[in-house]
Structure 1
Amino acid sequence: MSFKTADVVKLRKVSGAGMMDCKNALKDADGDFDKALEIIREKGKLIANKRADRDAAEGVALAKVTEDGKFGALVVLNCETDFVAKNESFVAFAEKILNAALENKVESLEALKAIGLDGTAIEAQVTEQTGVTGEKLDLSYYKCIAGESVVPYIHPGNKLATLVSFNKEGVAENVGKDVAMQIAAMAPLAIDQSAIPQAEIDKELEFAKEKYRKEGKPEAMLDKIAQGSLNKWYKDVTLLNQTYVKDGKISIKDFLKQNDPELTVTAFDRYTLNA
């Protein structure tokens, strides 16, 4: 069975494989399109199995929100090398996954892998793309946030992305972006101290006590000194108490109040590759 250039182009569009790979697949399939597509998919599975033990530490971290700004998603698609991570086709594939997550308002990584994309489950498509790139690919991370206003930020290079939600609609663009960039730059652990697990607080207190004990501080003073150290730690690791990176004289909480006395952050997420 013969095939035309248009068949090769169509197969390339559907599979994402290179022109020569598509041409060879059609040749092996005697021009049968479905059979050729299956050949490419099987090739992807074979390469994926061979590279299963490889370290896929490179990739992209992307974040985006729905048009109404009330639902945001952050996805991380990994590969083996920075060369592939910077490839336009690889980034476009990650963007397709992200768009599918937004369109379906997916709530978990498992659910994201299961939804269909161009007629095939995303998890299977990731395996297929392994055959296209020749590298191990892994859809390793997914987070969604809903709120009255959700703002995304992707740091240049696609290695770091954040999402942040606010309690009110219509958050000024510069305010939302500045807070999202603050999260990217300062990597807070929580919105405020109430969101930090007590176990982490106790660990920090014990660390401070031991530190000052070794410095020779009186045992009777350790609790008070450690509490002071804890308060400084809160300022470093809680978003609302962090110093605003664009104005070292105020906190993020103050920055928000300057724009709206009732405005606050309700949730955030941050992911960085090669941390």
Structure 2
Amino acid sequence: MEIKAADVAKLRKMTGAGMMDCKKALIEADGDYDKAQDIIRERGKLVAAKRADRSATEGVVVSKIVGQKGYMLCLACETDFVAKNSEFSATANEILDIAIAADAADLEALNAVAADGRTVADKVTEKSGQTGEKVELVYYAKIEAPMCVTYIHTNHKLGTLIGFNKEIGMEVAKDVAMQAAAMAPISISREDCDPAVIEHERSIGREQARLDGKPEAMLDKIAEGKVNKFLTENTLLSQPLVKNNKLSVGAYIKQDDPQATVVAYKRFSLND
């Protein structure tokens, strides 16, 4: 049967698949749209299965602030060529909009959300079929706070979400989001740092002091000093501000508002 350009365009709109893939599917399905969609989905599953052992180290990080909530996700693929394709970015943003509409709690919940008769997991699998590469939704997070800001680095492989306990100046808020992107703090503050991480650093500090020949009675004090240094350098509010290292990030925020602080923080990088 004759497959018209309008039919191909219609299927492409329904599936997001390439024009030639849509035409082939319609020919194979004798013009039946439902069958053609199934064919495209099955091809996506086949590609995904074949590429399962590949590494998806490229991709895009996208984010959005909606009211007092912030959302961020990363759609990953195998090559920079695919990652820089506008349609790939459009798919990442489409999934982000689905996440926002559903207010998905986590990555597992987002993958299960259905839109247009397909789950997000299905959409990701179909993207594998369209690109011929392994495609994965590798990260998703959301925060909620009285003020939320986001920063996406220019390479679109790194992003942060920061939540504040109250409204502050946007320039200050953006500086904090960029600080988190650049310096990769492990937590907001000393108080919410994983105790296991602190104990690990304490053990390293004690062992280093022992190897340096320090007296046994001094090991704990030396180790504690190293832990304090580590926490100063690696927790967001204690870190020296990149744009003025005479100020900590916490002090910089309080210059804008003495009652303000960070209450939520998420960071993701494809390069980590």
Structure 2 unmatched ranges of 5 or more: none
CA-CA distance at 1:232 after TM superposition = 1.1
- Cα distance in 2 for partners of 1:221, 1:47 equals 60
DSSP-derived class of the 2:141 partner: strand
Show the counterpart of 2:85.
87
User: Is 1:194 aligned to 2:188, yes or no?
Assistant: no
Show the counterpart of 2:224.
227
Preserved contact between residue 12 and residue 19 of structure 2 (Cα < 8 Å) = yes
Show the counterpart of 1:185.
182
Structure 1 unmatched ranges of 5 or more: none
Corresponding residue to 1:255 among 239, 242, 252: 252
DSSP-derived class of the 1:194 partner: coil
**Under a length normalisation based on structure 1, what TM-score does the superposition of the two structures give?**
0.95
Show the counterpart of 1:143.
141
* RMSD across aligned positions (CA): 1.3
CA-CA distance at 1:75 after TM superposition = 0.8
Show the counterpart of 1:172.
169
- Cα distance in 1 for partners of 2:30, 2:199 equals 68
CA-CA distance at 1:212 after TM superposition = 1.6
Preserved contact between residue 205 and residue 227 of structure 1 (Cα < 8 Å) = yes
Amino acid at match of 1:27: I
- Cα distance in 2 for partners of 1:50, 1:205 equals 45
Show the counterpart of 1:21.
21
Preserved contact between residue 168 and residue 257 of structure 2 (Cα < 8 Å) = no
- Cα distance in 2 for partners of 1:112, 1:174 equals 32
Preserved contact between residue 127 and residue 135 of structure 2 (Cα < 8 Å) = yes
Preserved contact between residue 60 and residue 156 of structure 2 (Cα < 8 Å) = yes
Corresponding residue to 1:242 among 236, 239, 242: 239
Show the counterpart of 1:206.
203
Cα displacement string for residues 107-136 of structure 1 (whole angstroms, at most 9, x for unaligned residues): 111110111233311101111111100011
DSSP-derived class of the 2:133 partner: coil
Q: What pairs with 1:1-150 in structure 2 (closer than 5 Å)?
A: 1-66=1-66, 68=67, 70-150=68-148
Amino acid at match of 2:71: A
Give percent identity, aligned residues only: 52
**Under a length normalisation based on structure 2, what TM-score does the superposition of the two structures give?**
0.96
Cα displacement string for residues 204-257 of structure 1 (whole angstroms, at most 9, x for unaligned residues): 112111112211222222222222222111111111000000111100011011
CA-CA distance at 1:149 after TM superposition = 0.9
- Cα distance in 1 for partners of 2:196, 2:34 equals 56
Count of aligned pairs between the two proteins = 272
DSSP-derived class of the 1:61 partner: strand
Preserved contact between residue 22 and residue 36 of structure 1 (Cα < 8 Å) = yes
CA-CA distance at 1:171 after TM superposition = 2.5
- Cα distance in 2 for partners of 1:271, 1:12 equals 32
CA-CA distance at 1:263 after TM superposition = 0.3
